Every structure is written in structure tokens, then in C-alpha cells.
Amino acid sequence: MLEAIRNHAQGWLAKVLLGLIALSFALFGLDSYMSGGQSNGEIAKVGDVGVSREELARETQGQADRLRESLGPSFDPAVTETAEFRKQVLDGLIDRKALFQDAQKLKIIAPDAYVAAVLMQIPAFQQDGKFSPQRYEAVLRQNNRTPAQFESELRQSFMLETVTSPASLAAFPSATSLNQIARLVAQQREISWVDLPASTVIAQIKLKPDDIVKYYANNKSAFTEPEQLRAEYLVLDRANVAASMTVSDDDISKYYASHKAEFGLPEQRSASHILIAVEKNSDAATRAKARAKANELFKTVKKSPERFAELARSQSQDPGSAAQDGHLGSFGRGMMVKSFDDAVFSMQPNEIRGPVESDFGYHVIRLDGIQAAQTAPLSDVRVAVIDALRKQRAQKIFADLADNFGNLVYENADSLQPAAAATKLTIRQSGWMTAKNASAPFDHPGLLAAVFNTESVKSKQNTEAIEVQPGVLVAARVIEHRPARVRPLAEVRPEIEIRLREEQSARLLAGQGAMMIQSLVKGNEAGQSWSAFQIVGRQPSAMLDATEAKAVFRVAAEKLPAYTGFMRPDGSYRIVRISRVLDAPGLDSRLLSSIEAGVMQAQQQADMQAMLALVKAGQKVKIQPNAIEGR
């Protein structure tokens, strides 16, 4: 670990502050993990669970939105439209699905008491400092979530945090290691330098006519330009159609009145249980023994209900709820496994029932209370109602618009103008693109293939309307085309000559510099015009860029003066003399804290990667070749 930190000391503190890239556990909902999504459009599979193209598109957009929110004006949308970004998102999805399946195999479940406690602590769900069911529902509606979905996500988060918790328990680095690293990070060096300008070797550079010809012949691929084109295009986006919808107060009231059930908090029930755990695939004798024990407990608490909490603490094999006297908190229908759910929602308050069999074993259940379904007032869910109403109307209108759009670009094959006029869309123009490098929306493989189709290039007619992501149609037309070509020697001769001269100059200067350093090491400094002494640290500065600073601090400084050399961006060669090493007089506590956090984070990341590799080794991961193409 110490060596790894030393090797990456340059810019290291900045990395500590920014944090290392870790797994994102932003979840979609239980269904996408349990069922693996729909097989249609499946681009990857982890064990028995698939990843659909639509799921990848949703998560990619979600991560782009989170980046936009966190970075503000410095956000560059082009970064999130690259294949590299989609690959990172896909890797994250695969990791989470692998971990989730591992959690299921380990039978990790989230106690409802945990879910309830988390909900109670979220400020967005509070009114006057207390949890408000109405505000909870309203906030979720505004974010296109239902309580069932959100609570499922909390449970999944608990499962994933539990299964990954061993990787988060990195050992604290010793004080000696911390001090060692801190001294390396804070160390400064006194340097001076001599620059050998390229002009000193110009007279030695000799190029033969054959040199340029040979270089061209051996490096033709470097001068090959792939086929390129520019296109104009139209984008019909359902989200934009929805945003343009106007709704009146009367529309809002009517929609709310006819959809009240959608804007309410469903019936919630609170229950407690005592679990006698047994593996799902256990033999009949083991299951019978567990059932008999659960039945004894049921008879005891049926006869003496006041002992339920005591027996839950001492006998239940669900440690999460046992510590809470068996209490599971409140939950809605469908939140528990079916047999447990069916039992709870058919019981009366204070009723005790058992044994109830599930995949986890046998439960003795007590129904603690029923909270009737509630309807949120219109004032709390007005934004959600408007959003739902717009989407409903846009869905109907968009279907007609999409049909008309497709017909117009087909029937008027030589121009996008008729379709643009009819749909009130603006014709946009792309930059130059190749068949392997295109920005949105042409990073969709179907659209990119359509514009590079031989007939599209030759006729310059419209492509068909292509769905590049759910609810987004694009039609395009080639407006300018450049065929692939190898640039002729006459065109690239000046570039080759410059390149060859630079290469020769660098070799000559490096050789001259190496000889000078050998002489300096022997103590022959006479006649050298060194710059003034400067104190430098590991961070880039006006005197040294990151690469140069790294070279200076890579030199062993046991014997001083020490020397190193490197080429500079301006074509010169710099010889650096290190005359003093300055250790920090005292180590800042903030620096030590930052380093400690960074070391632990690096170790946690390494442990997490090792754990992921182990988990995925037990699950077959298959990724389609075109998985990250398109959006």
C-alpha cells in the first residue's frame, strides 16, 4: 500500500478530496433485480438476471442527470454521450445485479423496522419536524415513484449494503505508515536547471529524401482518413411533447377526482414475528423439526400473548427484528414474501397466527395494527397530477405525431422540411462523423448505420424515422460526404518532415543530456549556467508540469546533488539539479486525516473489487457485443 501511494503521490491529495470511483447503488426498483427485466432487447445477463437496453438507457440518463445537478455550469453533456460512459454505467448495473443475487442467496432481508426508521429520518418527508404520510406520498409522486417502489429500493439498499459491508471494513493504517506517507506527500525539493534548446542540435539533423518516403510507406495508416459525412436531422421527443401540453385547473381537478387512488397512501399494516429459520432446500426431517419448534412457540404465545416480545428476543432467528421485540414496522401489500403477506393482510389486530411457511423458514406472526388507506389532498400532489395529465395526453398525441412524422419523412424523401413544418420541429445539423465515432443522436447503431448506408450517401434521401431511445424518433439526411482516402505524400510531406526532425532532435538532445548528467554526477559542473534555486512540491506549478514534477520526485535523493532530465513541450531538454530535500517541519492534522481517509478508501476499493470478482466468478456474466452501442 505504501508503495502504491508513493507511486501515485502526484496529485494524490486532490484524488483524496474527490474520492475514488466506487459502486453507485442508485436502484430502479425490485422488479428489475428480481425478474431481470424483459428479455426483449437484453444486452447482458448476470446469472439468471438480464439487463435490457432500456434499463441501461434509464440508468445512463439518471447518472447524467445526477452529474448535471452536482457539477452545475461545468457539466459537459458530451462526456455522458460516449461509449466509455455507457460502459461504466453497464459495469455498475452488472455489479449491482451480481451483488443483489448474492444477497438473495444469503437470504439477507431488510427488517421493516429499518425501512420505517429510514423514512422517519428523511427531512423531505417531514412536516413540522415529523414524518407526514401525505408529504411522503406527494414527494414520491413528483419524482414518479410510489411508496411500494421507494420502500423496495430501501430494502434493496439494505441488502446490498449488508452484503458489501465486509469490504467497507478496511483496517486503519498505522501511525507510522501515515507519517511516512504524509512526509512523502508534503516533501519539497530545492532545484535548479539548465535547458538545452533544440537549436543546439539543428546543425546535426540530417534528412534524406528517402527518409520521408520510407516513413510514409511504413505509416500509411497514420495518414488514412475514414469515410466521413455530415447530416441534417429532426428529433421528435415525447418528453418535449408532454412539456408543451397546457392543462387547466378544471382538467387538474377532474383528473385528480378520477385517479384519487393513485395519489394516496395505500393501507399499511404493522406486524411482529418470531422466525425459526430453515434452508429452502432442507430435507423433510429438518423442516419438520423447525415447524414443530415454531408450532410450540405459537401455542405458547397464543396462550400467553404478553410473552411474544420476550420470546421474539430469545428465540427468533431474524436478528434484525429480534432486537426490536420481533417488530417489523409498517408495510404495504406486496412488500413481504407472498405467504407472509397473505397471512398479515387476512388477520385482525392483535391476532396471532402460525406457523406460516416461507422461503426463510416458519413464522409466528402477530398483527399489531392497521393504518387505513389515505388520500393526499390535491394541494400536496398538484405537481404530480399535472405531470401525469401531461404524460397521458402526450401519449395519445405522440402516437399520432409519430405516425405522421414517419409518413412525411418517407413520402418527401428528398427533404426534411415538410416533416419539420408539419411537426413544428427545427432541422438540426451534425458535425463531421465517421462510422465509428459519432455524437448523439448518431451514436445509436441503427441511425448511424442508416446514414452511412450506401444508398443514403448516394441519393442523399431521408432515412426512416428511427427510435433511438424510448419515445424519441430521429430522421436524418446526408448533406455532405467525404469518401475514405489515404492522404497523398505531397499533402503530408511537410508534416512528415516536421515529425522526423522533432524525433531526431529529441534523440540527439536526450543523448547529449544523458552525457551531461553522467559528467555532472562525477562532479564536473564547471561552465554550467544554472537557473536560480527554486523550492518545488509534488503538485504541478508554473515551473514544472505534472509529468516533470513526477520525474523530479522519482529521483533517489540519498546523495546530493542528484540529477535528472526530460524533454519539454517546447522541444528543449531540461537537466534538473536537486540540491536539497526539505521535509515538512510539522505534519498538519488535516493532511494526516486526508491521507488516512484516502488510504482506507483505496483499501476499501481494492477489497470491493476483489469481492466483486469473487461474487461474479460464481455467476455467469454474458455481455452482448453491441451492448454499449446506442442510448
End position of a domain, from candidates 353, 372, 391: 372
Domain count for the chain, please give it: 4
Both 209 and 157 in one domain: the answer is no
pLDDT value at 32 more than 50: no
CB 424 within 8 A of CB 64: no
Question: What stretches of 522-588 show up as alpha helix (H) in DSSP?
Answer: 546-554
Within a 10 A sphere around the Cβ of 286, how many other Cβ atoms?
12
Examine the domain organization and report whether 141 and 193 are in the same domain.
Answer: no
CATH number of the CATH domain containing 137: 1.10.4030.10
- The reply to whether 479 and 392 lie within a common domain is yes
Those residues whose C-beta lies under 8 Å from the C-beta of residue 358, and which sit 6 or more positions away, are 337, 339, 340
Q: Give the count of beta carbons closer than 10 Å to the beta carbon of residue 521.
A: 12
Distance from the Cα of residue 560 to its chain's centroid: 47
Question: Residues with Cβ < 8 Å from 168, sequence gap 6 or more?
Answer: 604, 607, 608
Q: Taking 80 as the threshold, does the pLDDT of residue 24 lie above it?
A: no
C-alpha span between 534 and 577 (Å, rounded): 10
Q: How far is CA 46 from the centre of its chain?
A: 18
The predicted pLDDT at position 2 comes to 28
Q: How far apart are CA 74 and CA 57, in angstroms?
A: 23
pLDDT at residue 31, as a whole number: 36
- What pLDDT, on a 0 to 100 scale, did the predictor assign at position 144? 66
| Nearest to 451, CA basis, from 439, 433, 463, 466 | 463
Q: What is the dihedral of CA 196, 198, 200, 202, to 10 degrees?
A: 160
Residue 254 lies in a domain: no
- 55 pLDDT higher than 80: yes
Q: Which of 345, 459, 358 is nearest to 413 (CA)?
A: 459
Asked if residue 304 and residue 272 are part of one domain, the reply reads yes
Measured between alpha carbons, how far is 600 from 34 in angstroms, rounded to an integer?
33
Same domain, residue pair 196 and 314: no
Q: Residue 17: pLDDT above 50?
A: no
Burial of 415 (0-12, 13-18, 19+ CB in 10 A): middle
Residue 518 lies in a domain: yes
Do 368 and 275 belong to one domain? yes
Quickly state the pLDDT bin for 119 (edges 50, 70, 90).
Answer: confident
Burial class (CB in 10 A: 0-12, 13-18, 19+), 282: middle
- How far apart (Å, rounded) are the C-alpha atoms in residues 623 and 593? 41
The share of the chain scoring above pLDDT 90, in percent, equals 41
- 141 and 25 co-located in one domain: yes
Q: Which of 7-21, 77-91, 299-313, 415-429 has the least mean pLDDT?
A: 7-21
Residue 475 near residue 465 (C-beta atoms within 8 A): yes
The helix (H) or strand (E) run that includes residue 437 is: none
Where is pLDDT greater, at 43 or 216? 216
Q: What is the pLDDT of residue 177?
A: 67
Give the least confident one: 25-29, 141-145, 233-237: 25-29
Domain that holds residue 96: 2-172+591-623
pLDDT tens profile 294-328: 999 999 999 999 999 999 999 999 887 888 899 98
Structure confidence by residue, pLDDT tens digits, 455-512: 999 999 999 999 998 889 999 999 999 999 999 999 999 999 999 999 999 999 999 9
Peptide bond into 561 cis (omega under 30): yes
**Least confident stretch, 143-147, 286-290, 397-401:** 143-147
Element (H, E) at 222: none
Angle between helices 133-142 and 378-411 (to 10 degrees): 10
Contact of 335 with 148, CB cutoff 8 Å: yes
Residue 351 lies in a domain: yes
CATH code of residue 360: 3.10.50.40
Q: What is the pLDDT of residue 291?
A: 95
Residue 345: closest CA among 272, 275, 269, 264: 269
Range name among 23-27, 52-56, 268-272, 542-546 with the lowest pLDDT average: 23-27
In this prediction, residue 167 carries a pLDDT of 62
Question: What is d(CA 255, CA 163) in angstroms, rounded to the nearest whole number?
Answer: 44
Quick one: which of 226, 232, 225 has its CA closest to 460?
A: 232
Residue where a domain terminates, one of 308, 342, 372: 372
In the structure grid, which three cell numbers stand for residue 586, read together?
A: 510539522
Q: What is the pLDDT of residue 8?
A: 33
Please report which helix (H) or strand (E) contains residue 520, including its range: helix 489-521
Q: Looking at the predicted structure, is the pLDDT value of residue 105 above 70?
A: yes
Q: Identify the band that residue 120 occupies on the pLDDT scale cut at 50, 70 and 90.
A: confident
At residue 611 the predicted structure's pLDDT band, cuts being 50, 70 and 90, is confident
* Most confident by average pLDDT, 132-136, 297-301, 603-607: 297-301
Average pLDDT over residues 259-273: 84
Same domain membership, residue 207 and residue 290: no
> Which residues, 6+ apart, have CB-to-CB distance to 211 below 8 Å?
500
Q: What is the pLDDT of residue 507?
A: 93
- The count of C-alpha atoms lying within 13 angstroms of the C-alpha of 244, restricted to the half-sphere facing its C-beta, is 13
**Residue 433 pLDDT:** 95
- Domain-embedded: residue 153: yes
- Mean pLDDT over 431-448 rounds to 90
464 DSSP assignment: P
Which amino acid is it at 233?
Y
Residue 9's pLDDT band (cuts 50, 70, 90): very low
Which pLDDT value is given to residue 606?
A: 76
Q: What is the pLDDT of residue 175?
A: 67
CB atoms within 10 A of CB 112: 26
Q: Please indicate, yes or no, whether residues 524 and 546 belong to a single structural domain of this protein.
A: yes
Whether 150 maps to a domain, the answer reads: yes
Q: 246 CB contacts (<8 Å, ≥6 apart)?
A: none
Torsion of CA 312, 318, 319, 322, to 10 degrees: -20
> Cell numbers at residue 343, please?
397471512
Give residue 148's Cα distance to chain centre: 24
Q: Within a domain: residue 540?
A: yes
CB 194 within 8 A of CB 531: yes
Round the average pLDDT of the chain to a whole number and report it: 83
Cα gap 553→6, rounded to integer Å? 10
Angle between helices 284-303 and 308-315 (to 10 degrees): 150
Which stretch of 16-25, 412-421, 468-477, 494-503 has the lowest confidence by average pLDDT?
16-25
Please, which pLDDT band fits residue 194 given cuts at 50, 70 and 90? very high
Task: With a cut of 60, say whether residue 212 has pLDDT above it.
Answer: yes
pLDDT, residue 3, reads 31
- How far, CA to CA in Å, does 324 sit from each of 109, 317, 321, 332, 403? 15, 12, 5, 20, 58
Instruction: Measure the CA–CA gap between 324 and 294, rounded to whole angstroms.
Output: 19
13-22, 96-105, 380-389: which has the minimum mean pLDDT?
13-22
Task: Please tell me the distance from the alpha carbon of residue 215 to that of residue 504, in angstroms, as a whole number.
Answer: 13
> What is residue 520's predicted lDDT score, i.e. its pLDDT?
92
pLDDT of residue 323: 85
- Residue 589 vs residue 540, higher pLDDT: 540
For the segment 511-536, the average pLDDT, to the nearest whole number, is: 89
Q: How many residues does the chain have?
A: 631
pLDDT at 16 over 50: no
Say if 329 falls within a structural domain.
yes
**Of 41 and 2, the one with more pLDDT:** 41
Higher pLDDT, 171 or 39: 171
Helices (H), 316-462: 319-322, 338-344, 378-411, 417-423, 445-451, 454-459
Q: Are 63 and 83 contained in the same domain?
A: yes
Q: Please, what is the angle between helix 83-105 and helix 589-617, to 10°?
A: 70
| Whether 275 and 360 share a structural domain | yes
Residues 34 and 69 grouped into a single domain: yes
Predicted pLDDT at 11: 33
What CA dihedral angle connects 116, 117, 118 and 120, to 10 degrees?
A: 80
pLDDT at 30: 33
Examine the fold and report which residue of 421, 450, 483 is the final residue of a domain before the chain moves on. 483
